[in-house]
Structure 1
Amino acid sequence: MPKAPYKVPTASTPAWKKDTRKNQKLTWYVNADWWNKSFGKDMVTKQIKKDLNVDIKFVTGDDTKLNTYFASGSMPDLITIFDPNSKVARTANQWAYSLQDLSKAYDPAFMKDAAKDTLNWYKLSDGKTYGYPSYSNTAADYKSGDIAPRDAFVIRKDVLAAIGDQDFTTPEGFVKGMQAIKEKFPKLIPFGFNDFSGANSSLENVVQDMLGVPITKDGKFYDRDLDPDYLKWLEAFREVHADGNISDDSFTDDSNAFNEKINAGKYATMMLGSDVNHGTNLQTWMSKDKNKAYEAIEGISSTEGRERTLSQAGISGFTITYVSNKTKNPSKATQVLEYLLSKKGQMLTNYGIEGDTYTQDANGEVKWTAKAAKVQSEDASAWQNQYRIGEFFLMSHDKWKALNKDSYVQAVWQMQKWGQKYLTPQFDIENIAPDPGTQESRAYSAIQTNWSTTMVSLIRAKDKAEFDSVLNKYKQFQKDNNIDQINKTRNEKIKENQKKLGEN
């Protein structure tokens, strides 16, 4: 590792403030074609360029391009991937510098700003951490109240007011409530849910979280899909479908079709996963008539008295960024990561420049300036391309968004407040799938695919007998595809996770 070209400061001073070199250049590969490769033209990246005296060339691609880098041995300075379970992540000690070594050699402030739990989570067998994630929420973040829940059972206000006293918390009451909606609002779809293009809609994990279905039992993997409480609710959804109160289109709609229906308020109720991702459409509908806006209520609850366990982004986060051990400028690459992770970087990437786009009071609360608020509400293109606030997120974290409630559209505020008390980490079961490329991984993928079709078949079954028959076929499919060995692997990885988290 090259010696730092400046006197390394203490942890109280970030190294970029001591590095007087000009016109430094870095190449940063992001393993996603959709990433905005522009740098230095918008407000956020102009400031990064100015503060760090660095010009960053972004390169994007897919796994094929990423593998080409490794095959050629010619590596970019920084690499961002999305899969913590990939071979690239698991072998990072062979191609990347450890964050501990980088921080010690170039920028001790990094280890001060990095979350200890996150560093421990990404440690490899040598005891060092090589990649740092964005949106990694620790147990402390969950307890702080600074991160917002993302899922809720929601209903249109006017529908709720019109149908009288309905109990959506029990399977029986849910079926009756949907019938009441159909009678009063025949043109609406009584019950909607996220599209299936993102795996199993909001009818799997989101409903299971609403029911408080355990993630482990006696420290071992628990098959939430076969939980008796969850199956009771799938049977209730079958009855709702049989009554004509779930549209068959909901099983085939893509994300655009789902969002268009939210935009037009066509669903009377929804089991809504990731409300923020649908915030624009929820806000569009709310702007037409606030009395018809969607709001979260206590619906779809455990028949066994379990508390809800709503989730958020976990400790694994979203993107994971590494410094290549082939870089000729590891000191500047480390400074970039430290800058973005620090308070200064987080405030810049989330809110822009103080006094220009935001103000912050003595209590830490952030508000947009009138100028910024006008651009955000009236010119989405300028907000994204000229300001890039909230868009440059490769080291961003949810807790910083909490400083400004306007980080989220007004349409989701009530939903977030409703679910806050139910937030519960599910870190134990993150990244426990069999390793890619193994026979177990292929069997696991087959089971996942089979469950997706099984769940739809269960809801569309004509009666309880067909429901039971479909379910038994799935259980047999699991056995035929070596589910016991897959669960053994899951249990081993759960133990590893618990060790990382200091639980055993």
Structure 2
Amino acid sequence: MNKIKSLGILSLSALLMTACGGSNDSQDTAASELPDLGDRYELDENTPAWKLDTKEETTKLTWFIENDGFNDNPWGEDIVTKKIGEDLNIEIEIIPGDEQALNTYVASGQMPDIVSLYDGGKSNISQKAAEWALPLNVLADKYDPYFYEVTSDDTLNWYKLEDGNTYGYASFSNTEEDLKSGAIPSHNAFVVRDDVLAALPNLDFTTPEGFKDAMDQIHEKFPELTPLGFGEMKDHLGALGGTLQDFIGVPWVDENNEYYDRNMDEEYLTWINVLREVHSKGYISDDTFADDYDTVLDKIKNGEYAAMLVAGTHAYQPSFQGLMDSKPEAAYSPVDAFQSDKYDGPAMSQGGLSGYTTTYISKDNTDPIKSIQFFTYMISEDGQIAVNFGTEGESYYEGEDGYYHLTEEYQDWKDSDIAAFKEETRISEIPFFGHDNGNAQDYIDPDDIGWAPAVLRFQEWGKGKLVPKFEVDGIDPEYGTQEARSLVSINDEFTTAIISGVRSDSEEEFDTIISDFKTFRENQGWDNIVEVFNENIQENINKLKD
């Protein structure tokens, strides 16, 4: 089980005093309201309870998934749910739905047995989980202590509510150890064509003057190329926001562990002004601000850009690989860029402790004993192998390399019709208990993950550059509040301001655009939003432990 390294924020004793108040009473009360095990099995902390359970009748549960497009094919008709069902003697009806459907369940007072939300634990319903969900820690203590062997202490602590209980468990919740392990890739990079680097070996993209000079050299040597491009920016800021700030190493909290205004950081705005100068020379095409995803794919595959700043390189890997295959001398390689003497950057970002989805066991659950077994199984190596590979001997085998591989039949199916393969097998299609660096990873061949060689070189550059930013994980105001609505407007205006700033004709015009943006956000109640940020940052800090 993982532990968060000390952040030097709070003492352990202070955290314990804060976290433990009233928690024992709450846990005792919750446990007393649960059914007894009876003679189903005896607890064994060294053995998962699903292997001990003697219940003969198949347990039938309902599972609401907050995604109205999720695959709701009948349970057991695909190799993944068939395997899960056989191991646990369980049958689950999957109920996809949207937020409105979820609200209807809440209002009715009759929740499905299991609930998965795409909210990182930050939605209003997740924050009120004590009203409608069962505490996972209480269920584990009473029915399945092996749960603690497969879960992360850090994730459980992060999701703990004021009563001292943890109600939801997250998928893809990354600890500090995970982020620094090198196993989780960074998906952002500044890349340059290899033939450009070969012809101009002394290019420097790390300083403002060096960057501008590099663009001049590229334009002179390769006039047929657009010197600088980005990933998709249509209707959003793309790489010019947080990604660029991460390259520079802009802080996310200040010395007092309060919100740091990254968007108005002087070093960041200096680099935006550099891009303005580059644009004024025609080195950035205006088309790049309007190109959609498919257009960017085509431009990358054709190698139209000499250099690119890309957020989400994995999303473009078919095109990066296509260029490498067709014109290997022009493939893109990552290089250092956008540095600042003021900061220690780069400080790249990936998902934090809040993770992706959050899954709960409701108080209306028909068999909480089997349900916590389901959680333990799905998080464990057994469950993750079932989810990612199916059944040994039928859909996968263990190779001489020690990794698990799809059988020839299933691999051919996947290669010939990936949509049908996903729909009908559900292999790798149930992400709600998954993890980037978790159980069963030792059995997954890195070559089978699907990263194209063209993108692997970007990820190699990113190793050691991922930095935990847990303090600002999910700090936005609660959905539906005035602050949340105002923040949407401010973020939209910021996108407009930065793109307009890059396209502006002079430094004076650039400064006016930034000044006008500051005035706009002040009129939108920016101070109140910052106050919410700081309250949420403090809550996050209180969750972290030595």
Task: Give the CA deviation at 1:88.
Answer: 0.8
Task: Give the CA deviation at 1:386.
Answer: 4.5
Task: Give the CA deviation at 1:390.
Answer: 2.7
1:64 and 2:103 matched:
no
8 Å Cα contact 1:212/1:309 also seen in 2:
yes
Other-structure match for 2:527? 484
Task: Give the CA deviation at 1:306.
Answer: 2.2
Deviations 1:442-483 (A, max 9, x none): 222221121111111111111101100000011112222222
Distance 1:448 1:8 in 2: 55
Task: Give the CA deviation at 1:502.
Answer: 2.0
Deviations 1:34-92 (A, max 9, x none): 32223433332221122122222222121111111111223211111112221111101
Bigger-Rg structure (1/2): 2
Distance 1:112 1:366 in 2: 23
Task: Give the CA deviation at 1:350.
Answer: 3.2
- Going from structure 1 to structure 2, the CA distance change for 1:283 and 1:21 (only over 3 Å counts) comes to farther
Q: Any idea what SS the aligned residue of 1:238 has?
A: helix
Distance 1:368 1:145 in 2: 23
Residues 160-309 of structure 1 correspond to what in structure 2 (within 5 A)?
Answer: 160-196=197-233, 199-218=236-255, 219-309=257-347
Deviations 1:251-281 (A, max 9, x none): 2223333233334433332212222233333
Other-structure match for 2:427? 389
Deviations 1:66-125 (A, max 9, x none): 111111223211111112221111101101111112212322221221111111111111
1:55 and 2:98 matched:
no
Unaligned 5+ runs, structure 2: 1-33
Distance 2:298 2:68 in 1: 25
8 Å Cα contact 2:250/2:343 also seen in 1:
no
1:321 and 2:362 matched:
no
Task: Give the CA deviation at 1:351.
Answer: 4.2
8 Å Cα contact 1:210/1:301 also seen in 2:
yes
1:62 maps to amino acid? D
Of residues 121, 127, 135 in structure 1, which corresponds to 2:172? 135
8 Å Cα contact 1:352/1:358 also seen in 2:
no
Give the TM-score taking structure 1 as reference length.
0.92
294-303 or 85-94, which moves further after superposition? 294-303
Other-structure match for 2:385? 347
Of residues 25, 30, 36 in structure 2, which corresponds to 1:3? 36
RMSD over equivalenced CA pairs, Å: 2.4
117-126 or 432-441, which moves further after superposition? 432-441
Give the TM-score taking structure 2 as reference length.
0.86
1:88 maps to amino acid? I
Of residues 496, 502, 510 in structure 2, which corresponds to 1:467? 510
Deviations 1:311-364 (A, max 9, x none): 1111110011111111212222222211110112223323445565353779xx
2:396 maps to amino acid? T
Distance 1:388 1:114 in 2: 23
Distance 1:46 1:477 in 2: 56
Other-structure match for 2:468? 425
Other-structure match for 2:482? 439
Unaligned 5+ runs, structure 1: none
1:405 and 2:446 matched:
yes
Of residues 58, 64, 70 in structure 2, which corresponds to 1:23? 58
State the percentage of identical aligned residues: 39
Of residues 172, 184, 187 in structure 2, which corresponds to 1:147? 184
2:52 maps to amino acid? K
Task: Give the CA deviation at 1:385.
Answer: 3.4
Task: Give the CA deviation at 1:151.
Answer: 1.4
1:37 and 2:72 matched:
yes
Of residues 161, 165, 183 in structure 2, which corresponds to 1:124? 161
- Going from structure 1 to structure 2, the CA distance change for 1:283 and 1:388 (only over 3 Å counts) comes to farther
Distance 2:433 2:235 in 1: 24
Task: Give the CA deviation at 1:228.
Answer: 0.9
